[in-house]
Structure 1
Amino acid sequence: MQNTRKSLGGAPLQVVNANVAPPTTPGTKVRKMQAELDKKDSENESLRASVKNLTNALGKLDLVKAAGPIVNPTEVKNNKKDPKAPVPAKTAYKFFCDVSPVQDNMQKLWKETDAKKREPFILLAAADKERYQNEFAAYNEEKKALDMYYDKKKQEQAMAFFEAHLEAQAALKDVEAGKDNRKANKDPDAPKRPTSSYMYFAKETRSEVVSKYPDAKPTEVTTMMGAMWKQLDAKAMKKFEKMAEADRERYAAEKAVYDAKVTVKKAEAEQEEIARFEQEKKEAMELLESSKQLSGEMIIQNVGGEAMSVVSDLSNKSKKKKDPNAPKRALTAYNFFFTQNRESIKSKLPAESTNTELMSEIGRQWKALAESKKQKYNKMAEKDKVRYANEMAKYTPNKQG
């Protein structure tokens, strides 16, 4: 650089020598200390953000743990008898023993009893056998539905625990590596922070300084601009202060709008969470109800490696006989999904998969299905509801049934 160059303020500048460090002034020391403090604040803020993420992730793990294991109340451990299971049917001999005087050899007495006298006990045994078969069919159907329901819940809890575990591991790595997550966590819709008066001055002046001193290093350019900023009189500085004030007002206005949007988003997120929970409860009940219907009409089980249709048509004479002319009840969206996708899902499972595992997988895929894809089945269900309503309007119950 030549000694004849002038500064923008009119006074001659000292020669900038790349080999000689600029003189250290009190102002330079203050700026250096401030820069170091800002750096420390940034590092501390980064660490706090990482610790917060880790705390949140560990909190999710604690929530899953606090929920406790999913317990299926229908499971019976240690080969104990299920107290809710139907009472086994009595034999004719047992009915005979119940009403006969106790003797040393009841079996001999039963064998010696006349066939005509045995007949009432045989009829009682036949009726009790039919009672047991009906009760066991209903009990077994309900148990299958509940097994499927609780297996699905166990899978969901295991997945939630696994995801929380992965999130905690990622957060721990961030803490250990000192990763700065502020930018990643910054909302892109947040308003841009206000620009200071000095930054407006620097934006306006930098190109002029760089053009005058093309060989100057960035640090030297910054030093020159700092010196020029200090030399500005009140009138010249007022221009940039007005620009900064206008930008602060802009930021305050945008921040108010942004804060309002954040409040609305939080409220919407809470409502979505409530709606999601209600929807999950609804789907769980649909799954349970569907399993009860399908176990009696459509379920195909694997028995000894061979396919066997199970049609639950055991008559329960204690219940009112169903009118065969009554309209078929409307199917749910899940029913239509089940019917159309069951075989394709089954073909992708291992050959040894049980019916409970199949039902759980179908339920899982239904829950994971995007709402846009569920619309197809929702429309089918709505159409079937209309069909059922129309048929019921024309239906006359058979009173003799």
Structure 2
Amino acid sequence: MATIADPAPTKKSRNSRKALKEKNEIVETPLSPVSSAKEKSVKSFEKDLLEMQTMLENMKIEKDKTEELLKEKDEILRKKEEELENRDVEQEKLKVELKKLQKMREFKPNMTFACGQSLTQAEQEKMNKKKKKDCPETKRPSTSYILWCKEQWNEVKKENPEADFKETTNILGAKWKSLSAEEKKPYEEKYQVDKEAYLQVIAKEKREKEAMKLLEGDQKQKTAMELLDQYLNFVQEAEQDNKKKNKKQKDPLKPKHPVSAFLVYANERRAALREENKKVVEVAKMTGEEWKNLSDKQKAPYEEVAKKNKEIYLQAMEEYKRTKEEEDMSQKKEEEELLKLRKQEALQLLKKKEKTDNLIKKKKETKKKKNENVDPNKPKKPASSFFLFSKDARKNLAEERPGIHNSTVTTLISVKWKELGEEEKQIYNEKAAKLMEAYKKELEDYNNKNAAITSG
């Protein structure tokens, strides 16, 4: 392959070099003074614009701040105004209360209160408790069973020294059941004697308490009546003083009394005489003298005006009296209706109270009858399977969750009982059945004994 030869470098002419030099000289030549001044002015204007913009932004920020401050100041001023208004209202209320207190201070009752009233209820209860402790007669008598237990306790303890309290009580209960009626009779008689003495003491105390209450009530009524009398006297004296100081306030609806004929004439003449710059006393004297000198014909028109005014006044007074009477009648009716309503309410309350008292009495009587009829020796019904389960479950729950509430315990027990299987329930059912059989046997024995006693 034949290689292509590179072209030989050509020499630049002198003319071309000169042209390039001239161009460079043209480029390097400095700007004219007019163009440089324009550029400077543009740059300075831009700087001024930027400064002005920043100034405007700062002014806006300051304006917002000042507006916020003004709003805050307005709110503070409004709050202060409200506080001042509230203070004024409170001051007025305090003034009213002060006036009331001053009036109360003026009233000084002269009373001598009873000594019994000085004791409070708490102090009286303490005194009663101390009396009960000191006096053995006020204590409830022990039953025949307890009297027998007191006698037999030491013997049972000697026979069974290792037995605890529960076991000893069970032994005593079994022995008491085995006793005959004749053996129980002395203890029952002693109990009856103690009971009668106790009831007599309590009845006496109740009677004394009732008497004391009545006495206190009478004393309170007397003191209240005395206070009322003193207060009423004080009010009457105060009213008399006020009457002397202040005149009665006139009713604005009441028609005014008509003017006489002389005053009608005087009112006409007063204006003319006042124009002459005369004094009030001189005007009164002159009108009086002129009225005396007037003839009957000259006085007639003024008298007619006065007469008409009087007729109008009398008619208005009749209407005023009629309306006043109607208002009084309506007030009386309203008061009577209110009294009737209050009486009805009081009667309803009394009826409710009587009903509740009767119900309470009946309940107490039924309870007493039941307690009297129930024999303490009669065997008690055994617990059901659920109650037997609840005893065990309660113990477990108390150990697992100490301090748990009774209501939650009962709910948990009922839930657990429902969740129990038939096999687990069968255990408690068998226990309950055994207890029921034992109870039936005891009942039969008890009934047989009673039948033997009644037949014997």
Q: Could you say which structure has the higher helix fraction?
A: 2
- TM-score, scaled relative to structure 2: 0.31
Larger radius of gyration: 2
- TM-score, scaled relative to structure 1: 0.34
